[in-house]
Amino acid sequence: MRELAILIVAAGTAFGLVLAVLRTFGFRLLNALIVVFADVMRALPPLVLIILLYFALPLAGVSMGAFAATWLSLTLVLAAFAEEIFWAGILAVPKGQWESARSTGLTRLETLGQVVLPQAVRMTVPPLTNRVIATTKGTALGSVVALSEILNQASSSASLAGNATPLTLGAAAYLALFLPVVIFGRWVETRFAWKR
pTM: 0.80
CB 140 within 8 A of CB 8: no
Domains of the chain: 2-191 (1.10.3720.10)
pLDDT value at residue 21: 95
**Which pLDDT tens digit goes with each residue over 65-101?**
888 988 999 999 999 999 999 999 999 999 999 888 8
**Confidence label for 146 from pLDDT (cuts 50, 70 and 90):** low
- For 61, the 3-state DSSP assignment is coil
**Confidence label for 4 from pLDDT (cuts 50, 70 and 90):** confident
CB 22 within 8 A of CB 30: yes
**Which pLDDT tens digit goes with each residue over 6-62?**
899 999 999 999 999 999 998 999 999 999 999 999 999 888 898 888 888 888 888
Cα dihedral value 19, 32, 94, 86, nearest 10? -30
